[in-house]
Structure 1
Amino acid sequence: MTELTIREIQLVSLEILHTVATICEEQNFRYSLIYGTLIGAIRHHGYIPWDDDVDIMMPRRDYDRFLEYMKIHREEYPDLRIFNLEECKEYPYMITRISDDRYIIKMENEKPYGMGVFIDIYPYDGLGTTEKEAVTYGMKGDRLSSLCYQSTREHFAIETTTSLFRKIIKYPIFIGSKLIGKDYFQKKLNQLVELKEYEDSNYIGCIVWLSGGKKEIFLRKWFDETIMVPFEKYQFRVPKDYDEVLRHTYGDYMQLPPEKDRIGHHYFKAYRKDE
């Protein structure tokens, strides 16, 4: 197998994104670039040069409709494969990944389950009408998704943890999570889904993967309107209020990080399958 460079990974992911976005436009499914992909669109008009993945969000209703569409039209996209709990029992996450089956990913700290180069689709649910309600509810998802993540790691790793206190407690949490197992945490996370309606909430976020805590709890009105912006050779949707969204999560997002931090945040290698 031939290992892909980061640029080759980006170009494969770009075509997956273009396919997904085209479906969304044709079927009137709401979506938006989010997280590092949104920074890339605004700051670089494409990928952050060292970024190794694509993130988009969909309101839960549109997310469900998109997945149903992909099931019905599966044969029209022979190279694409859906990864989520319904499609792959071994899959360790609660978000969906759309993967290009012509490639294979080898994760550093995760059991293989057949995924290739992918994009992330985050379902956004309503979190409540007040900030206090949203934070209380959202942090339940944050804790459960963190425990779920630890339960699916093959071995203990500090990874991106920087706080000394968190480093100290991380190992016992890892052991406890492994003993309980991912099925328990995934069941608990599923019970949080759609408890609050997206359209009726002032605050929204990905309750099943709220890894940034308060920084990933957004005002719904920021996402109510989208605009098209250039991203590489295509155009994709972003929130009209993207500045509010990005400043809320990242602060001065136009400032480049120190050179030592300009690295991808996933731990994998990607390969082109032998033909």
Structure 2
Amino acid sequence: MTSIQKIELMALKEFREVAHEHNISFFLRGGSVMGAVKYGGFIPWDDDMDIAVPRDDYEKLLKVFSEEWSQNFWIASYTYGDQIHAYFPRLLIKEDLRIKEGLPKNNHLGFSIIDILPLDNVPNTWIGRKIFKYRVGILRALGAVWTVDIKDTIMIHSSFRQRAIKMIKWTGIQKFYTQNQVYDKLDKIYRKNWGRTAWKGTITGSLFDKELFPQKVWGKGKVVNFEDTQFRIPEQYDKYLKQLYGNNYASEEPAYKKSHLKDKRIQ
């Protein structure tokens, strides 16, 4: 493991202890699932972790982790009043530890190492999900307008979406809202009760609508080895990973190896 990955694992273990005390459950998400399945831990080049928290537990999490809970880590969220420029919270290394370990910054708040996304119900029908994705897509693009000029902010959007965001900014529509007001609108959509839904997802993540799945894909989760410990991943992890990364995820490495460190980003 790299020095960053060791700190990330320490952070997630500490996060898990506090979450367990408050009956907050979570899954590994995205590339962290890939790492668990393919490498038994971290993807070798990865420098962040991702988790998904079922909405009811996510609401508890926002309350529990708003207080001081660690000597080494903290969670930034727009709901706490932090200028995070993202809808979902991020777990960061406190500055004393970052400096002591000689770790870099990857955004204006310091060093973000874990993304925490809500796992939400979505509409059951194809047309319902289509409308849902359209509404979320528009608001996400609008919310990202304020991020364009923020130095060292993590940008999860593709180059195409970045151009679209700059075009929206050019229209001046952002003058009618604050970024947090847009996040509040997104939150209202995400938290909507869609009735008995058979679909769930983390559409607020970087892969957008690829992250929507039938509920059975998530299931109750499967506990698997991750480095020297264990975490829960989606129950049907093979279907999950194939939808996100392609049918050959187990045998191929991606041409684009994402990094949240500025000097490693592919422009």
TM-score class, shorter: 0.7 to 0.9
**Letter aligned with residue 200 of structure 1:** R
TM-score by length of 1: 0.79
Superposition pairs for residues 94-133 of structure 1, below 5 Å? 94-101=87-94, 102-103=97-98, 106-107=105-106, 112=108, 114-133=109-128
- 2:88/2:115 contact within 8 Å kept: yes
Which of 129, 137, 142 is equivalent to 2:132? 137
Q: From the superposition, tell whether residues 154 and 187 of structure 1 become closer, same or farther in structure 2 (CA, over 3 Å).
A: same
Distance between the aligned counterparts of 1:129 and 1:17, measured in 2?
32
Unaligned runs of 5+ in 2: none
**Native 8 Å contact 1:148 1:177 kept in 2:** no
Counterpart of 1:266 in structure 2 is 260
Q: Using a 3 Å threshold, how does the CA distance of structure 1 residues 173 and 240 change in structure 2: closer, same or farther? A: same
* Local SS of the residue matching 2:41: coil
User: What amino acid is the match of 1:204?
Assistant: K
Paired residue for 1:233? 228
Match status 1:28 vs 2:27: no
For 2:172 and 2:56, the matched residues in 1 are separated by 31
* Alignment-derived partner of residue 203 in structure 1: 199
The answer as to 2:57 corresponding to 1:62 is yes
AA aligned opposite 1:203: W
Cα distance in structure 2, aligned partners of 1:248 and 1:140: 22
Q: Deviations over 1:212-242 (max 9, x none)?
A: 2331111112212212111111111111211
Q: Could you say what the CA RMSD is over the residues aligned between the two structures, in angstroms?
A: 3.0
Return closer, same or farther for 1:7/1:139 CA change in 2, 3 Å cut-off: farther
Higher RCO structure (Cα 8 Å, ≥6 apart): 1
Name the stretch that deviates more: 132-141 or 242-251: 132-141
**8 Å Cα contact 1:150-1:177 kept in structure 2:** no
**From 81, 90, 105, the counterpart of 1:88:** 81
Q: Distance in 2 between matches of 1:250 and 1:69?
A: 33
Q: TM-score, normalised by structure 2?
A: 0.81
Q: Aligned letter for 2:212? A: I
**Pairing 1:209-224 to 2, within 5 Å after superposition:** 209-224=204-219
Contact persistence 1:54–1:119 (CA under 8 A):
yes
Structure 2 CA distance for partners of 1:160 and 1:123, relative to 1, 3 Å: closer
On the 8 A contact 2:117/2:205 being kept in 1, the answer is: no
Q: Indicate conservation of the 8 Å contact 2:25/2:53, yes or no.
A: yes
Does structure 2 retain, via aligned residues, the 8 Å contact 1:135–1:214?
Answer: no
Q: How many residues align?
A: 253
Question: Structure 2 CA distance, aligned partners of 1:140 and 1:161?
Answer: 19
Inter-partner Cα distance in structure 2 for 1:162 and 1:137: 23
* Distance in structure 1 (CA, Å) of the matches to 2:9 and 2:196: 33
Distance, in Å, in 1 between the alignment partners of 2:208 and 2:79 is 26
Identity between Structure 1 and Structure 2 (%):
25
Q: Which has the higher strand share?
A: 1
Does the 8 Å contact 2:157/2:206 carry over to 1?
Answer: no
Change (3 A) 1:210 1:147: farther
Match of 1:18, SS state, is helix
Give the residue type in structure 2 aligned to 1:50: W
Helix, strand or coil at the partner of 1:106: coil
Q: Which amino acid aligns with 2:210?
A: K
Q: Separation in 2 of the partners of 1:154 and 1:35?
A: 27
